[in-house]
Amino acid sequence: MNDSHYCPHTPDEISEMLSVIGVASVEELFSPIPTALRATTFNLPTGMSEFETFARMQAIAAENGQGLTHFIGGGYYDHIIPAVVDHLSGRAEFYTAYTPYQPECSQGTLQALFEYQTAICRLTGLDVSNASLYDGGTACAEAAMMALRVTGRNRIIVDGCVSPFSRQVLKTYLFNLDVEIIEITPLDGVLDRGELARVLDDSVAAVLVQNPNFFGCVDDFSTLANQVHEKGALLIASVYPISLGLLASPGELGVDIAVGDGQSLGNPLSFGGPSFGFIAANKTFIRNMPGRIVGETVDRNGKRGFVLTLQAREQHIKRHKATSNICSNQGLCALRGLIFLSSVGKQGLTDLAVLNRDKSEYAKERLAQIPGVTVLQSAPTFNEFTVLLPKPAAPVVAELLKMGVAAGVPLGQYYEGSENCLVVTVTEKRSRKEIDRLADALKTELATVRF
């Protein structure tokens, strides 16, 4: 193999470089690699221009389903991201920043996280928030851990309507602890109040619910807090942040700890991540919050400043006294959430939520007109809803993928007996034409089914 194939330098330059590092040839550099495993040629294609390279990358990306029309949700959503989010979060001051241990060098990052905490508090209607978590699943688990510490009890009740992904993370977190997790089987897509009353007693630390839940149902939890508090337990609610532009906030419902995934707040889907989790709580529980909190202070000259405070992480205090072993956070993703909320504003968030709800209602109407399809109506919905098909949903989804439509999330793999159920999600990005396309494709796929 000619050495010049490896490097654009002249043979004399290559020889000189090799002599400096003490080897006789380029081949010698590869001597530790068995001959059978060495490439005889790199078979590199002819160089392409920037335009040609970008076109090629787009073509490769298209093979990953980039051309699909998405009606998939289940916790991760295809929302519009204002251009300002990419522009500001892409500034070097933010995307190269590390954990702000030294406040004198990190005032910009600390202020951004402080403002993020403020936005989450206003969004959830609760008093305090930390500087973000990994994702919605770990946020649920951390909230449960908070409740265990606050109450000193060892039982957690989890509504079966909570995302199965979050429930699995919760089980993993608590696996080696002396904690009992009690799951309540859903009743018509909502919390089974009768079963909750039966298992809720003085040994329960918290009740974990989700709104809207995994079936897309918006449950009425207005009286649930009192029921839970009467037993000395805490109420934890996992929420979809965009829905809070339309629904009552957790604080208004008497929720003690609110959590959720921030992906829908200005973060792209990106094959599942990264995203960030948020958590907010009543001020009473601030010393049991996981991770870090950014606080506002003044320096010795009376100037406003920001610092990390109440850092109850195992890196900062004795491990057995730490509230969490979280060693980092999703600060840049949380910043994107702040920029998103700031750019849309209070009224913009409401308008966005209404648009999601209205488009979802149109999709309900169109799908309900298909012979054999039933839209479940056990509760109001936001932008997700469940339909019952006349055949298993998974193969139907597979066939619609071939038509360029990602129809939704089949429930059979998560809930026994729900093989024919499909959760459909409609965000503001879905046009009437795309919704009609979904309905037409589903009608075509079900045309051969006899009723």
Mean pLDDT of the chain: 91
Cα 401 to its chain centre, rounded Å, is 23
Exposure string for 438-448, b = 16+ CB within 10 A, e = fewer: bbebbbebbee
List beta partners, residue 374: 388
The pLDDT, as a whole number, for residue 315 is: 56
Q: Average pLDDT, stretch 220-224?
A: 92
Cβ atoms of 79 and 242 within 8 Å: the answer is yes
**Residue 298 pLDDT exceeds 50:** yes
- Residue 273: partners with Cβ closer than 8 Å, 6 or more residues away: 135
The HSE-up count of residue 399 (CA atoms within 13 Å, CB side) is 14
Q: Which residues pair with 259 in a beta bridge?
A: 238, 279
Condensed to tens digits (0 to 9), the pLDDT of residues 149-160 reads: 999 999 999 999
Q: What's the length of the chain?
A: 451
pLDDT at residue number 3: 42
Q: What pLDDT sits at residue 271?
A: 77
- Residue 5's pLDDT band, with cuts at 50, 70 and 90, is very low
What tokens were used for 315? Answer: 């890196």
Say what the pLDDT of residue 312 is: 56
Is pLDDT above 70 for 341?
A: yes
Residue 23 near residue 29 (C-beta atoms within 8 A): yes
Widest CA span in the chain: 85
Comparing C-alpha atoms, which of 206, 136, 190 is closest to residue 165?
A: 136
pLDDT bracket for residue 99 (50, 70, 90) = confident
Neighbour tally for 201: CB within 10 Å: 13
More confident: 56 or 241:
241
As a whole-number percent, the residues of the chain with pLDDT over 70 amount to 94
Per-residue pLDDT at 40: 73
CATH code at 83-341: 3.40.640.10
CB-based burial label for 431 (10 Å; 0-12, 13-18, 19+): exposed
pLDDT of residue 6: 47
For 386-418, how does the pLDDT look when each residue is reduced to its tens digit (9 = 90+)? 999 999 999 999 999 999 999 999 999 999 999
Question: Does residue 44 have a pLDDT over 60?
Answer: yes
* Cβ atoms within 10 Å, residue 185: 11
Burial 289-304 (b: 16+ CB within 10 A, else e): bbbbbbeeeeeeeeee
Q: Show me where the domains of the chain are located.
A: 3-37, 66-80+352-445, 83-341
Q: Nearest-CA neighbor of 253 among 201, 199, 291, 207?
A: 207
More confident residue, 142 or 6: 142
Give the model's pLDDT for residue 26: 83
- Average the pLDDT over 90-102 and give the result: 81
Looking at residues 8-20, what average pLDDT do you find?
84
User: Do residues 162 and 238 lie in contact, with contact meaning Cβ atoms separated by under 8 Å?
Assistant: yes
- pLDDT (tens digit per residue) in 302-327: 999 999 887 655 556 666 677 776 76
* pLDDT at 30 (0 to 100): 85
How far apart CA 187 and CA 88 sit, in angstroms, is: 45
Residue 70 has pLDDT above 60, yes or no: yes
Contact 257, 238 (CB under 8 A): no
What pLDDT shows up at residue 4? 41
CB 356 within 8 A of CB 242: yes
Q: What is the mean pLDDT of residues 27-54?
A: 84
Least confident of 122-131, 168-177, 218-227, 304-313: 304-313
Instruction: Work out the number of other CB atoms within 10 angstroms of the CB of residue 365.
Output: 11
**In the CATH hierarchy, which top-level class contains the domain 66-80+352-445?**
alpha beta
Of 101 and 93, the one with more pLDDT: 93
Q: Tell which residue, 245, 217, 231, has the closest CA to residue 380.
A: 217
Listed in sequence order, the residues at least 6 apart from 183 whose beta carbon sits closer than 8 Å to its beta carbon are 158, 159, 160, 167
Distance from C-alpha of 341 to C-alpha of 123, rounded to nearest angstrom: 9
Write out 6-70 in H/E/C secondary structure: CCCCCHHHHHHHHHHHCCCCHHHHCCCCCHHHCCCCCCCCCCCCHHHHHHHHHHHHHHHHHCCEE
Give the pLDDT band of residue 2 (cuts 50, 70, 90).
Answer: very low
- Looking at residue 332, its pLDDT comes to 92
CA distance 115 to 45: 49
pLDDT average, residue stretch 361-382: 96
Q: Scanning the structure block, which residue is given the tokens 């330098």? A: 9
Ramachandran category for residue 68: left, alpha or beta (phi over 0 → left; psi -120 to 50 → alpha): beta
Report whether pLDDT(445) > 80.
yes
What count of other Cβ atoms lies within 10 Å of the Cβ of residue 415? Answer: 17
Q: Beta strands of 146-202 (E only): which ranges?
A: 155-159, 180-184
